[in-house]
Structure 1
């Protein structure tokens, strides 16, 4: 058992030294499914406050070096801040987003919870990289009632008519190791 642990450790060290990152031998280089968490906070008024958060799932269309992906998930926060912020990528190599921005907006805005779908690109490999997303967040819609079929159809029709789609464009720089 000790020899296996030592061999695995040496394998990781050799991979890291070869600038391939720490990966288990035999696994595909880039997983098709990854998760992203994006958080935006403010440290104004002597305390840190979370302003918006997003939980997104990415499906990479190719396992090769191409970074084209489909994304979907839930965005939460004031409308003026959705799509803003730094991110933490989960799955595959770790990613760190660096940056600081000052935001001018109303802190009294009500928080929205919106589904998001989009298509994006992230450069693959280790080191500095670029990402871009183009998608829509859905907002609006009234609650549905299941009392009778006519009322349900009217409620569904009314809900679909009241839906609004907000286009979002996101671009970022990251460092992957």
Structure 2
């Protein structure tokens, strides 16, 4: 075990559990799934209940998958798709900085997840435990990890926006 592997473990666990907590909150936080569904409807992601379930489930699955380092580029792609949709639908009008509810945080989470997919989950991961020494392991990091995480994530996020996002009409002041 090296400091590199411990560093990747720390990064994966913090990123992953942070994302999983967001999913948990959508399911069980104040207002629960019904409140989350109403929020999705209000921002133009219809049907809201469908998107609330998809977002909460993806946040929990991607978060836990990244935390344990299982098929790492796939949960990283989930981060990219989730953060792209969140940045576009909620944070884009507010600019970049998080202090004004901008999309800075979304960018950092997505890029950090892609970086982990590129570097690989490290020796303290299920990827290493289950797949080291196999051809599949080579697809779970390096250029393949980067391409899978970024391309699949962008395709998922853009696809969801194109198919489902209908921005609410602007209210006259």
- Tell me if TM exceeds 0.5: no
Instruction: Determine which structure has the larger helix proportion and give its number.
Output: 2
Normalising by structure 2, we get a TM-score of 0.26
Q: Which has the higher contact order (CA 8 A, sep 6+)?
A: 2
Higher radius of gyration, 1 or 2: 1
Structure with the higher strand share, 1 or 2: 1
With normalisation by structure 1, the TM-score equals: 0.25
